[in-house]
Structure 1
């Protein structure tokens, strides 16, 4: 399916330029439902020849608004997971999310099972967008200590522990809450352990990097427009040069990674995805640095779109695990034959 980005823009433009504070319970959820209703969530699946097109759409939405991109990426990732696990019959018209964080103080357990129908107890933390979506795929634990993917309906959750602990300024609109389960019904999806072992786990991780890139690209356009005016500041031009170098490197890395996945969709993509995430994260941080120094306080104070992206992107980037991810990348690289960097 070819998704018309110009048509998508007609739904996104007013939202991205809104001056008022976001109403958590209306605007964001309503726009997500509009995107689903218009089938703008039907992206090419990863590894089927159009992975780059999928990531381009994610980047486009992220350049509009990262709170929206958080919901949109989670929903489209859920659709890809359900397809990979042969569970598309569960889709319906719902807005989906994917929650798989496993902090030591919050674990969801399967306490009863009747075929694919299960009952859950415990807690699930870091449920971003739980105030705006309908259904979610979560990881829950079986007696043999394997993570099992479970589809839940938010209306059936025992308790939503609300956002009084959520003090974020960046990504404030997608408040992450903790959910409490008490014999809550769910439907098992796929086999125990399949969520992490399937090839699409890493494909989805690269989709997050495409969102980082889209937001960084949108910030960079403010600097490019500034430098296109008569008598540009040479210091701003130098910052623009640095931004171009960073974004072009990240863009090339995303293109290369997408082509690699399309050539071998069933292969372990952990190394190439860790690498591209590191490259895009570093590029985004460079963009934030250079654009801010070049433009000063004005766009932070007078452009709602710029201000939101600038506040949201540093928080969204922390979906990276920083040095832990770099250490894992280095460990994998050390096991490869010499010559991995040859031109």
Structure 2
């Protein structure tokens, strides 16, 4: 495992200085490939006793660039899922493809490549398993919200058997039977992640774990805590611009008040992240849904406070003249919508109301 934080920091600094920050697709892919080639993607697994270190790595990447974090988090999440479900990716030789289709990549999944995880299930887009031979399956259908699809080599995606049972499937994206449709992606924030639709037509994949295992495994909610760490890392980067602004010695009482509010919000979120990471490491096989739901709500509220106070304190200047700040400020409101806002809060409230043991005593 690569434990050298300086290596990650060097990569991030180099990426931040890229020549064309407005069209970073090639740089995104190059940065992710470098992570894979140098072992910077080998971060501690959730629940391994070093969950906080894992989250610190995610936060560090998020503080540099959220589209890069989106790829990095998806890739490292996929590696954690493959490990947790005990999947050793085979080669892509296919018994399901007809002889005329030689599109299946013969090299194994295990070669150096970038992975993603696609689990969105909107009602108008579904991938189905039409044939199965052992763990090898044939896929048809459309998968929506596939982040970074055109920058990845492999993906883990949720698919459905004809009897309605869910499966997690590993797919090599270089098959000719896999195609991409980007016409619906009109984002400004997080634009370079290109969360496009992916179409499968007799594509070959391999089932990972048992039916339903993707959602029932402990790592599902543990991974959700990592997303909150990424939100936090981006907010810290914005907050640091305000802190540097106030280190010039000039009297700006209103900016000081905003900085105080930012400090209070971030300090509370950091404490929640440390506490939740510790709980996960102490209970690696238990259901982490309630601690992580609380964590995500707490961090989301803190991030919203940071964005509001930093913007009001600094005015338009960093939005218009600081490229790093401007990118983060545009990307973070989109990225944090991985939270479902009041729907997530309502679910948390229902859990608390139904619990006979949860209370708020010190």
The two structures have a TM-score, normalised by structure 1, of 0.97
SS in 1 for 2:67: helix
Structure 1 residue 232 displacement after superposition: 3.7
SS in 2 for 1:331: helix
Q: Does 1:71 align with 2:79?
A: no
Contact 1:226 1:232 in 2 (8 A): no
Alignment of 1:298-313 (within 5 A): 298-313=317-332
Distance of aligned partners of 1:170 and 1:48 in 2 relative to their CA distance in 1, 3 Å threshold: same
Distance (Å, rounded) in 2 between the aligned partners of 1:291 and 1:185: 48
Q: Which runs of 4+ in 1 moved over 6 A?
A: none
Q: Deviations over 1:291-337 (max 9, x none)?
A: 00000111111111000000000000000011111011011111223
Structure 1 residue 26 displacement after superposition: 1.3
SS in 2 for 1:110: strand
Structure 1 residue 162 displacement after superposition: 3.0
Structure 1 residue 157 displacement after superposition: 5.3
Structure 1 residue 255 displacement after superposition: 0.5
Tell me which residue corresponds to 1:47.
47
Number of residues of Structure 1 aligned to a counterpart in Structure 2: 343
Q: Does 1:195 align with 2:225?
A: no
SS in 1 for 2:128: strand
Tell me which residue corresponds to 2:85.
85
Tell me which residue corresponds to 2:265.
246
Tell me which residue corresponds to 2:275.
256
Distance of aligned partners of 1:55 and 1:141 in 2 relative to their CA distance in 1, 3 Å threshold: same
SS in 1 for 2:164: coil
Q: 1:180 aligns with which of 175, 179, 199?
A: 199
Tell me which residue corresponds to 1:275.
294
Contact 1:209 1:277 in 2 (8 A): yes
Q: Deviations over 1:155-174 (max 9, x none)?
A: 11535333222111100010
Distance of aligned partners of 1:105 and 1:339 in 2 relative to their CA distance in 1, 3 Å threshold: closer
Contact 1:79 1:88 in 2 (8 A): no
Distance (Å, rounded) in 2 between the aligned partners of 1:140 and 1:243: 42
SS in 1 for 2:248: coil
Distance of aligned partners of 1:198 and 1:322 in 2 relative to their CA distance in 1, 3 Å threshold: same
Distance of aligned partners of 1:339 and 1:77 in 2 relative to their CA distance in 1, 3 Å threshold: closer
Tell me which residue corresponds to 2:56.
56
Tell me which residue corresponds to 1:126.
145
SS in 2 for 1:231: coil
Distance (Å, rounded) in 2 between the aligned partners of 1:159 and 1:79: 22
5+ residue gaps, structure 2, are 90-108
Distance (Å, rounded) in 2 between the aligned partners of 1:105 and 1:158: 20
Q: Does 1:139 align with 2:158?
A: yes
* RMSD (Å) for aligned C-alpha atoms: 1.3
Tell me which residue corresponds to 1:265.
284
Tell me which residue corresponds to 1:37.
37
Distance (Å, rounded) in 1 between the aligned partners of 2:131 and 2:323: 48
Tell me which residue corresponds to 2:97.
none
Tell me which residue corresponds to 1:98.
117
Q: Deviations over 1:86-140 (max 9, x none)?
A: 0144433110000000000000000000001100011100000001110000000
Contact 2:181 2:196 in 1 (8 A): yes
Distance (Å, rounded) in 2 between the aligned partners of 1:164 and 1:2: 39
Distance (Å, rounded) in 2 between the aligned partners of 1:54 and 1:21: 27
SS in 2 for 1:121: strand
Contact 1:209 1:281 in 2 (8 A): yes
Tell me which residue corresponds to 2:305.
286
Distance (Å, rounded) in 2 between the aligned partners of 1:22 and 1:329: 38
Contact 1:157 1:180 in 2 (8 A): no
Tell me which residue corresponds to 2:9.
9
The farther-off stretch of 83-92 and 118-127 is: 83-92
